[in-house]
C-alpha cells in the first residue's frame, strides 16, 4: 500500500472513530464542574457579605445587631451543630459505598436528609418568631437576604440528596461508580461550611 493510500485509510478510519477528547485535568469532569460552580456561588455569597459589612460600617452602630433586632444565637447555634453533623453522616455514606457497605451508605444518606430538613424547619420557625421583617431596616434586609440565600442552597442540596437517596435504594451505586453520590456530597459540604461562615459573621461577630 502506498503512503498516500495508507494516509487516506487512516483519515477515513479516524473520521469514523474520532479520538477521545484530551483531558488536561486529573480531576474528573463532573467533580471539576461542581467545584467551578461552587466557586461562582462563593462569589455570590461574597457580595451579600460585602453588603452586610457595608451596612455595619455606614451605620456605625455601637451595638450589633441594632436595637430591636435580637437574634436567637442559641437556636442558631444548635442548628449549626445539626448541619455540621450532617456533613459527617454524608462523609460516612460516601465512605461506606467505597467499601461496598450499602446499608451504611443508605443510613448515612437518610440521616443527612433528616438533619437537613431539621435545619430548614428550624430556620423557618426562627423567621416566624424573630420579631422583625426584611423591610424594617438595612440590617434586617441583609440578615434575611444572607440567611435566606443560604437556606435556598440548603433546599437545593436536599433535592440533590433526595435524588441520590432514591438511587441508593435502587442499587445504582457501587464502589467503582458513585459519582452520583459524590457530587451532591461535595455540594452539601460546601453548604455546611458556608453556614459556619454565615453563623459566625451574622450571629457572633
Q: What's the pLDDT at 23?
A: 56
Is domain 28-204 annotated with CATH 3.40.50.720? no
Q: What's the pLDDT at 11?
A: 46
Q: What's the pLDDT at 68?
A: 64
Q: What's the pLDDT at 188?
A: 96
Report d(CA 113, CA 125) in Å as an integer. Answer: 18
Q: What's the pLDDT at 147?
A: 94
Q: What's the pLDDT at 198?
A: 94
Q: What's the pLDDT at 86?
A: 97
Q: Which residues of the chain have pLDDT under 70?
A: 1-25, 27, 59-68
Q: What's the pLDDT at 1?
A: 47
Residue 90, all three cell numbers: 454524608
Q: Beta-carbon neighbour count of residue 88 at 10 Å?
A: 14
Residue 115, all three cell numbers: 438533619
Q: Are 51 and 139 in contact (CB under 8 A)?
A: no
Q: What's the pLDDT at 7?
A: 46
| pTM metric for this prediction | 0.81
Q: What's the pLDDT at 19?
A: 53
Q: What's the pLDDT at 35?
A: 85
Handedness of CA 60, 61, 65, 68 (dihedral sign): negative
Nearest to 203 by CA among 72, 82, 80: 72
* Four-CA torsion 172, 109, 197, 75, nearest 10 degrees: 160
Amino acid at each position: 500500500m502506498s503512503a498516500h493510500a495508507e494516509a487516506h485509510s487512516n483519515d477515513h478510519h479516524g473520521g469514523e472513530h474520532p479520538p477521545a477528547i484530551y483531558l488536561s485535568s486529573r480531576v474528573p469532569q463532573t467533580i471539576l464542574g461542581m467545584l467551578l460552580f461552587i466557586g461562582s456561588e462563593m462569589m455570590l455569597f461574597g457580595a451579600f457579605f460585602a453588603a452586610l459589612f457595608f451596612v455595619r460600617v455606614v451605620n456605625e452602630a455601637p451595638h450589633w445587631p441594632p436595637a430591636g433586632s435580637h437574634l436567637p444565637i442559641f437556636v442558631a447555634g444548635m442548628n449549626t451543630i445539626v448541619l455540621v453533623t450532617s456533613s459527617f453522616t454524608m462523609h460516612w455514606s460516601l465512605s461506606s459505598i467505597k467499601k461496598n457497605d450499602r446499608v451504611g451508605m443508605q443510613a448515612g444518606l437518610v440521616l443527612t436528609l433528616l438533619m437537613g430538613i431539621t435545619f430548614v424547619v428550624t430556620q423557618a420557625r426562627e423567621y416566624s418568631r424573630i420579631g422583625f421583617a426584611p423591610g424594617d431596616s438595612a440590617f434586617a434586609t441583609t440578615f434575611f437576604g444572607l440567611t435566606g440565600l443560604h437556606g435556598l442552597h440548603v433546599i437545593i442540596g436536599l433535592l440533590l440528596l433526595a435524588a441520590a437517596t432514591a438511587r441508593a435504594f435502587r442499587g445504582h451505586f457501587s464502589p467503582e461508580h458513585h459519582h452520583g453520590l459524590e457530587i451532591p456530597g461535595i455540594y452539601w459540604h460546601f453548604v455546611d461550611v458556608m453556614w459556619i461562615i454565615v453563623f459566625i459573621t451574622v450571629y457572633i461577630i
